[in-house]
Structure 1
Amino acid sequence: MLKIRLKRFGRKKLPSYRIIVIDSRKKRDGKALEEVGFYNPITNQTKLNMIKIKRRLNEGAQFSRTVKNIVRRANIK
């Protein structure tokens, strides 16, 4: 099953995350099938490619709980 979830990168104590599409059995920082966005929790900066996200959702991918909340917040603004 495909999941849309976060992949951590950045320095120690200064995390940033890429929003990626990956097989649910792979490890958190494993090789992604596709990168569909970016999230920085420190500055609350979010960048999403909604076209790619919607395409992957139509193919059967599912959000992780955190990414679902990020997308929901981004669409309200």
Structure 2
Amino acid sequence: MTSQPSEPITVRTAKVAEIDALAAAMDRSRNYVVNQAIEQYLAANGWQIERIREGLADSREGRTVPADDVLADIAAKHGWSR
């Protein structure tokens, strides 16, 4: 793995204390905790953005199901009355 150039960022003081407490509890460095948090944030939000793009494309192509039908299917699957 090649090292990427780094650039400083600013974190609010209160958050640094929380990060440090978490790092100490995990026996990890502050840098490790911050990088893990950023990786997880980017992965989750990247996944969400991709699903939104796919949903918009499906909508433009008419590949949709009315919400009432979806809710009725969910209710039927779980035995709920609507």
TM-score norm. by structure 2 comes to 0.22
Compare the two structures and name the one with the higher strand fraction: 1
Higher helix share: 2
Larger Rg: 2
